[in-house]
Amino acid sequence: MLKHHGSRRTHIHNLRLAILLSLTAGLVNGEGFLGFSVLTTNVTGHAALFAESISIKDGTTSWVIALWMLLFLGGAFIASFIIDIVGKNQQYSNLIPISLEFLILIIIGIIGNHYKNELAARQLFAGSLLFAMGMQNALVTMVSKSVVRTTHLTGTFTDLGIELAQLKFIAPEKKADLKSRIGLKLFIIVSFILGALFGAYVFRLFHYHSFFVPAAILVYTLLYDIFRVNAKRYYRKIGKKIKPIRTPKTKPPVSETKSTVLKQLPK
């Protein structure tokens, strides 16, 4: 899902990645909103809150919201920087951003309940989730060549509306590709919404420990590629060791050879 780039990347790779990481983002969105009363997967709504806090001259809130938006930007920058430094086709280029996101979710899951009544800690946790989602969004965007976006639905709904309208006017030979893109958008939307619903339900049961659920999905996403690659290498080695059994060619009897030669002689 994560290791294939360029021409090696297929629609199935994008679909798997979209489902898993949209589900992760939906979980973080639902759990983050219930835990911190903050939208933790995008910065669109924070722009309005930032403007409101400035209009009422609430300097402290203005700085906090500005920091949140910068943290999302910083997450996207860090993920892109790591991938470009390590190399897009290297195994560890995707491992580092996903591992950082995993670490943030695990830390919040472990210590979140201890600081749930402290405003500063909750604001810090919300900012760290925005940083993690910025990394995830940049990672998925770079891996899929901007085909998949997982942390917000505004652009996805816009693209879906455009593509649904194109169904009426597009050439018949291009409809199959368009329908696959529409299907991808629908899977992103459904996965995100299901993740948000499940996240809200799980948070009410387990509180901040619910952040272990999206962390587990990230682990599965990483291990899927690792085990799949190792399995392919294993079967290739087995295939090289097993050589096809060649049956020796049997020579025809001497009598048959003589009769064949006699038949070919001119009468």
Ordered domains of the chain (ranges, CATH)? 6-264 (1.20.1250)
Between 169 and 67, the more confident residue is: 67
SS3 100: helix
Query: Which whole number is the average pLDDT over 239-260?
Result: 55
What pLDDT, on the 0 to 100 scale, is given for residue 261? 46
pLDDT at position 131 over 80:
yes
The tokens describing 260, both together, are 């064949």
Read off the pLDDT of each residue in 191-213 and give the average, rounded to a whole number: 94
For the stretch 17-46, pLDDT in tens is 889 999 999 999 999 999 998 888 888 888
Q: Averaging pLDDT over each range in 13-17, 94-98, 119-123, which range is the top one?
A: 119-123
pLDDT for the residue 214: 95
DSSP 21-67: HHHHHHHHHHHHHHHHSS--S-SHHHHHHHHHHHHTT-HHHHHHHHH
Contact 76, 68 (CB under 8 A): no
